[in-house]
Amino acid sequence: MDYMNGPGRHHLFVPGPVNIPEQVIRAMNRNNEDYRSPAIPALTKTLLEDVKKIFKTTSGTPFMFPTTGTGAWESALTNTLSPGDRIVSFLIGQFSLLWIDQQKRLNFNVDVVESEWGQGANLQVLASKLSQDQNHSIKAICIVHNETATGVTNDISAVRTLLDHYKHPALLLVDGVSSICALDFRMDEWGVDVALTGSQKALSLPTGLGIVCASPKALEATKTSKSLKVFFDWNDYLKFYKLGTYWPYTPSIQLLYGLRAALDLIFEEGLDNVIARHARLGKATRLAVEAWGLKNCTQKEEWISNTVTAVVVPPNIDSTEIVKRAWKRYNLSLGLGLNKVAGKVFRIGHLGNLNELQLLGCLAGVEMILKDVGYPVVLGSGVAAASTYLQHHIPLIPSRI
C-alpha cells in the first residue's frame, strides 16, 4: 500500500504549511459564533493593530482575507493597478513564475526580468529600465522576497534604493509569504507599498488567511485603479473599518483566534528573536548540507534563505525519490523540486514555530534517506556539523522553573 499512516509522529519539514503549535491548535478548537456580536469586532481590532508589528509598519493599513497567498497576490494587484499597466516583475523560481502568470491573466503589461534559478533578482536590469523610463510608464515593481522553490532571498531595500535614486514613483509590491515573521522585513523603512503574507508559513497557522498591508501611497492608488474586484476590494473593508464591524463578509473565526495565539507566541519570544532563531536554523542546515558534500541551490551567499534550503543532488540521483522515501519510510515530509529544478533538488523547510532539536531530527532523517538512495553520506556528519554550530549559538533563555 503506497499511502498509509506511519508509526510515530509525522515530521513536517516542507517550507509551508508548517507545524502548528499546541497553543494555536487549542485556541482554534472552538465552536462558531456570531461575527456580528461585540466579541469578533473587538478581537479583530486588536489583530489589525498587532499584525502591523510583524510588517514593521506604523503607517500601513492591514487587510485579512479568508484566502491563501495567491488571493493576497490578486488583492495587491487589483486594488492598486489598472489593466494594461506596465509592471516589472522578477522571475527567479516557481512562485515568482506563478505570480507573473496571475499578473498576465489579469491583463497587466508584464515586463519580466528572468534570472537563472538559484540566483536572485537582477537589479542591474531594473536600474537600466528605471533610468530609461522618463515617462514613468512603469507603474509597479513586483518582487518575491523569499523564493521557496530555490531558497533565494532578495534584497528589498536595494530595490527601494534604486527607485529613490531615479526618483521613480512606481509602487513596490512585495510577496513576503515565506519571509514575514521569519526574515528581517521592514515595510516602512524600505518604502514597501504593498506587502503580503500567508498564515501557513512563519505564522504557523493552518492555510486560510492572506494578510495584506498597504501603505498610504497604495491606498491613494485605489482611487485610480480600474481593475475589477469584489471579494478582494480594500474599499469594502475600509467602509466596515469605519463602522467598527470590520468584516464585509463572514470571516474565518477559528483562524482569527488562532492568529491571536500565534501573534502572542511571537511577541512573547520577541519578533527580532524569532528572526534570529530562523537565522541560526538556516545556518545549521547549510552546514549540514556542506558536511554531506552536497551543494545549495542558492548560488551566492547574499541570496541565502533562512526559511528553506534547496539541496542539489548528484546527477545519478532523482531528488523525487528522496522525497518519496522520506514520507513512506520515515514519516518525514520534505519539499519536492519544482518545475526547472524537479528531480534535481529537494527542499528542507526550517520556518515557523520550530526549535533546534526538531531540526536535528530532520537532518538525521535526511542522512538515512541519502544512505538509502545510494549516496555515500557519512552518517552523523551533517548532524554533527549542525549541532556543533547550534551548541555555540543557542541564546541564554531564562529558567522556567
Instruction: Enumerate the known binding-site residues for substrate.
Output: 347
CA–CA distance, 306 with 15 (Å, rounded to integer): 11
CA–CA distance, 336 with 149 (Å, rounded to integer): 9
CB 325 within 8 A of CB 366: no
Give, in order, the Cα–Cα distances in Å from 223 to each of 19, 59, 135: 40, 18, 21
CB 193 within 8 A of CB 218: yes
Annotated binding site: 347
CB 253 within 8 A of CB 33: yes
CA–CA distance, 28 with 261 (Å, rounded to integer): 9
Residue written as grid cell 551533517? 382
Query: Cis link prior to 17 (omega < 30° from 0)?
Result: yes
Q: Residue 29, class by beta-carbon neighbours within 10 Å (0-12 exposed, 13-18 middle, 19+ buried)?
A: exposed
